[in-house]
Amino acid sequence: MWGVQRGLCALLLVAGLAGCADKTPQATDVDMARYSYVSNDPPSLTLVTSISNRSNAGAHSALIINGPERVVFNPAGSWRHPLAPEQGDFHRNFSPAMEKWFFDYHARETFRIRAQTIEVPMAVAAQALAEARAYGSVPPAQCTRSITTILANLPGFEEFATSWFPLKASAEFAELPGVTTVLYTDDSPDDWSDLNLEFND
């Protein structure tokens, strides 16, 4: 379904937004154990928000977790890569090259990506990672809901409001002290014809 549905967790509560993608086959425990990436960067959480260039509406949320290992929780999304095995909506082996590929997949001529990062204690990152892995497969339209639920369970994030809306979660995340924001734009076609599964990690 690479050219059929975009990895967007669109909110069914809002008219006009497209639905989430069907779930992909799950990786085996052997594959999950085979691949991992550990970063030397400080532990952190990165909230990724897809924003429509046509309507400026929020379309999807994902959470990059840099803790004991670097992973991405991409709830109800269609993005996948054979070197980033997935169980539930939890992908391992999220190296810098994989992150670049992930952003390139989502940033298209019709969507831009906002990435907001906050450094956290390792214990907080480890808890976020464990909760993301345990969350399982997220139903359509609940991408932001699942991420904000995880955030609200973390020490220091107890007041973070659970929400269905990507831009609302992004605005609240922006208010946290020490957050840095990067905006990714691209004019690549929506059919992903420019992407190549092979890259140098």
Q: According to the model, what pLDDT value does residue 86 have?
A: 92
Domains of the chain, by residue range, sit at 29-184
HSE, CB side, 13 Å, CA atoms: give it for residue 68. Answer: 8
Which tens digit of pLDDT belongs to each residue from 50-94? 999 999 999 999 999 999 999 999 999 988 888 998 999 999 999
Provide the 8-state DSSP code for 51: E
The predicted model gives 5-16 an average pLDDT of: 31
Which tens digit of pLDDT belongs to each residue from 37-49? 999 999 999 999 9
The answer, yes or no, to whether residue 16 has pLDDT greater than 90, is no
Q: According to the model, what pLDDT value does residue 29 have?
A: 85
Question: Confidence class of residue 22 from pLDDT cuts 50, 70 and 90?
Answer: very low
Can you say whether the dihedral through the CA atoms of 11, 155, 41, 176 is positive or negative?
positive
Mean pLDDT (the chain, rounded): 85
The answer, yes or no, to whether residue 126 has pLDDT greater than 90, is yes
The answer, yes or no, to whether residue 14 has pLDDT greater than 60, is no
Tokens for 116, please give them: 């907001």
Q: Distance between CA atoms of 79 and 91, rounded to whole angstroms?
A: 10
Please give the CATH architecture assigned to the domain spanning 29-184: Alpha-Beta Complex (3.90)
The answer, yes or no, to whether residue 133 has pLDDT greater than 80, is yes
Tokens for 70, please give them: 């670097």
Q: According to the model, what pLDDT value does residue 49 have?
A: 98
Rg (alpha carbons) of the chain, rounded to whole number: 15
Q: According to the model, what pLDDT value does residue 80 have?
A: 84
Range in 24-28, 39-43, 108-112 the model is least confident about: 24-28
Which tens digit of pLDDT belongs to each residue from 137-167? 999 999 999 999 999 999 999 999 999 999 9
The answer, yes or no, to whether residue 201 has pLDDT greater than 50, is no
- 163 and 131 Cβ atoms separated by less than 8 Å: no
What is the three-class DSSP state of 108? strand
Q: Distance between CA atoms of 92 and 78, rounded to whole angstroms?
A: 15
The predicted model gives 175-187 an average pLDDT of: 94
- 162 and 34 Cβ atoms separated by less than 8 Å: no
